[in-house]
Structure 1
């Protein structure tokens, strides 16, 4: 069973070449600064990404495929001059094709990640807070029926033009049927990004999930390239990339897949 709450995105960290006349112009310093901020999951920056993932090799016979659609806005809240509170709801839908004989579209579990993060200068940045996951909104074909709760954390080091970091969370089951899987999961996402002076970003990350009940892990590696461009005064980032599953859960995706995203930025 595919758990679409774990097909995440790293739309925050990665975005692609834009095909437009502005893409050929030299980017301003503010554009490269915004591109760098996008590599920080707890930046004091409102962003609204829409991500698309394609996976194959799904189901007992390996003949199924799916396209997932992930909406993951990042909402920073200033608590005081020293602290920010970052809210990252992740809402995923998917279209499945011939997955164990099933084809259809539905909405999976929603995951709400939150982080208390100090608003202090310096290359080391961190955040920690509660996380909660809901049951699948469209039945057992789209993820677990359990509710999960736990803790999320992020830490990173930013030194121009590089960003190195890790985002992770642990959820425990808070009730619900385990027929379609459980919410006892550890998720971890190490990432490295390189941002050029003309606002291109190159990123490699993994989005790994380990389920403590099945003792199985799913480990997709994502490599993406992105470009931030300005449309009038609106910064928009486009991305394209490939993914490969180093390992998967029984019936989960395998081999190569693809990813694309578009992210709208609203600097404060």
Structure 2
């Protein structure tokens, strides 16, 4: 029980620091004439013209017949480009670093890069319905065979959302099919969507919930999770940082891929002046 008590103590101090830091940042931004809530709203918008570098930490337990554990850090820089006065190109990159045990067999361990996903959204400027459309690419960057597909894939991606008075609601989706790669490996054909809702406060804190759905058409498997979240914005020196924490609650999934439970923690380095 001692490790659990130590963990709860660390968690308490982390949450306390998180709340105090968010409050301090809110006071500072109000004095400077900036709005922490506006920044939180931009971060809730996947196609906002804002450079950010989120590090998304995902920990899942109880996966498959060997009760495996999987820890994934998704390095997810978002880089916007201004094409015209009314059109932006928002590029989003996801490079997963995976450490997993007892997934492919009992007493097995794999560590390394998985396949990267690159998405480019053409996003017209709009104050009502925000939308973005463009291509999504699967890039075979895996450093171990079992961590990737050895396939190059491409497909469409889309985002539709609405923001007003701190409320953000919408969805983001892509459908990627393999078009080249190792012919001895199974084809890749997968649909992914995330439906999200969040509310931001003047302090920059936010509450939300999202549902992630992954449909593997080739393997005929579906994975659905429900993920409530709490987040906030603070500063390390002059660097603006957003934190958020989410329990990952599996709803639907095949025994081989569905975890018993999971946890996500995100640290996003933000560059508001971009």
Which of the two has greater helix per residue? 2
Hey, what's the Cα distance between the residues in 1 that align with 2:115 and 2:23?
Answer: 40
Post-superposition offset of 1:142: 1.1
Q: Secondary structure at the match of 1:137?
A: coil
Check if 1:118 corresponds to 2:117. Answer: no
Pick from 93, 101, 110: which aligns with 1:104? 110
Equivalent positions of 1:1-268 (< 5 A) are 19=17, 21-25=20-24, 27=26, 28=30, 30-59=35-64, 61-99=65-103, 100-101=105-106, 102-120=108-126, 122-177=127-182, 181-267=186-272, 268=274
Give CA deviations for 1:122-159 in whole Å, capped at 9, x if unaligned.
12100000110022512332132221101111010101
- 1:218-257 Cα deviation digits (max 9, x unpaired): 1122211101013443211111120011122451132211
Instruction: State the alpha-carbon separation in 2 of the partners of residues 180 and 221 from structure 1.
Output: 31
**Unpaired segments ≥5 residues, structure 1:** 1-15
Q: Paired residues, what number? A: 251
Contact 1:18 1:238 in 2 (8 A): no
- Cα deviation per residue 1:7-57 (whole Å; 9 max; x = unaligned)? xxxxxxxxx957255334371352111011110000010011111100112
Q: Which sections of structure 2, spanning at least 5 residues, go unmatched?
A: 1-13
1:98-121 Cα offsets, whole Å, 9 max, x none, are 22132121111000011000123x
**2:23 touches 2:203 (CA, 8 Å); kept in 1?**
no
Equivalent pair of 1:164/1:191 in contact (CA under 8 Å): yes
Task: Give the structure 1 partner of residue 7 of structure 2.
Answer: none
Q: Which structure's relative contact order is higher, taking Cα pairs within 8 Å and 6+ residues apart?
A: 1
After TM superposition, the score normalised by the length of structure 2 is: 0.85
- Higher Cα radius of gyration: 2
Give the whole-Å Cα distance in 2 for the aligned partners of 1:260 and 1:50: 8
Say which is worse superposed, 156-165 or 28-37, in terms of deviation.
28-37
Using the TM superposition, name which of 77-86 and 231-240 deviates more. 231-240
Distance of aligned partners of 1:233 and 1:30 in 2 relative to their CA distance in 1, 3 Å threshold:
farther
What TM-score results when the alignment is normalised by the length of structure 1? 0.87
- For 1:231 and 1:123, the matched residues in 2 are separated by 33
Aligned equivalents of 1:204 and 1:235: distance in 2?
Answer: 23
